[in-house]
A = this chain, B = another copy of it.
């Protein structure tokens, strides 16, 4: 591993998991950690999310040859400014944010002359905070690296090696394409889930307790996603606005067609769509990106 000292800024689900994964997979590498919240720093210390938990971002980054920002998308620029003057020459600054074009711009603005190569490990759970991380979060998950134009290809290679060492599979693409891909595979699903859970909790005809009781009919899967960190997701939608709106409008057009099929009692159109979507599911399971057990193994009594 060509990085010897890694600073992790932000010690929630992602930052904490990186710290634990480095400890588990890269025992020779030293980690420092910082979080703006003193209570998070205390808990991070107790859990050992990094070798040393520092009281300022500047202290955390000062000897680091890799700095990874693990703060909400909207806080990246300000967090980088906080430690900009403390960076050592030759350092690489990266991040884990879910939208890449605006983050790239924010980090480059905050860190003129510093090598910045953003990344996004496509992994997570609905939990957040310093207790949520675990060492195997990145195992068999994809990490997308989005080098800006004129990025040093050797640094890109070193960042690829780093993520592969943590168990991830790595893909390199440009930030704009990343933002479109994630709009459909992650951002729109979260937006829809948040919205339908909100809709269901405000109905007049159906009580909230009924929604909760009968959630096993499908609704509960949406509530898991809709329990994700509010700040993180607010920032994603504010930062990946264009791609999200583009995909949302495509989805709305399709949903309007489906609504017309229901109004017209067009069973054939429904059946065709419902058959096609099964194939996608099979591919996801075949590629190891989901659990093949029915109901994710929740009903693990199958006999």
Interface residues on A, range: 35 or more
**A198 to chain B: which residues have CB within 8 Å?**
254, 273, 276-277
Per-residue CB contact flags for chain A residues 249-282 toward chain B (1 = under 8 Å, else 0) read: 0111011001101110101001101111110111
Q: Is the CB of B213 within 8 A of A190?
A: no
Decide if A200 is an interface residue (CB 8 Å cutoff): yes
Complex interface: stretch among A28-36, A105-113, A155-163, A179-187: A179-187
Contacts A258-B195, A291-B298 given; does A225 touch B218 at CB 8 Å: yes
State whether B185 touches A274 (Cβ < 8 A): no
Determine if A280 and B212 form an interchain contact, defined as CB atoms under 8 angstroms apart: yes
Pair A189/B136 contact, Cβ less than 8 Å: no
> Which residue of B132, B226, B230 contacts A281 across the interface (Cβ within 8 Å)?
B226
A42 contacts chain B at the CB level, 8 A cutoff: no
Given that A194-B258, A258-B194, A270-B234 are known contacts, is A171 also in contact with B213, CB under 8 Å in the complex?
yes
Question: Shortest distance in angstroms between A130's beta carbon and chain B's nearest beta carbon?
Answer: 13
Task: Say yes or no: A206-B184 contact (C-beta < 8 A), given A238-B267, A299-B134.
Answer: yes
Which residues of chain B are within 8 angstroms of A297 by Cβ–Cβ distance? 296-298
- Asked whether A289 is an interface residue with its Cβ less than 8 Å from the other chain, the reply is yes
Interfacial chain B residues near A74, Cβ < 8 Å: 267
A-B pairs with beta carbons under 8 Å apart, 10 shown: A126-B281, A182-B217, A186-B214, A189-B221, A189-B222, A195-B255, A212-B287, A213-B289, A230-B271, A233-B270
Q: Hey, which bits of chain A sit against chain B, CB under 8 A?
A: 20, 74, 98, 122-127, 132, 134-137, 139, 141-142, 144, 171, 177, 180-182, 184-201, 203, 205-206, 208, 210-228, 230-231, 233-235, 237-238, 241, 244-245, 247-248, 250-252, 254-255, 258-259, 261-263, 265, 267, 270-271, 273-278, 280-284, 287, 289-291, 294-299, 301-303
Q: Return the 5 tightest CB-CB contacts between A and B, nearest first.
A: A186-B217, A125-B294, A230-B274, A136-B301, A227-B281
Please name 4 further chain A to chain B contacts, defined as beta carbons within 8 Å, in addition to the given A192-B192, A218-B225, A238-B262, sorted by A numbering.
A20-B303, A124-B216, A184-B219, A224-B281
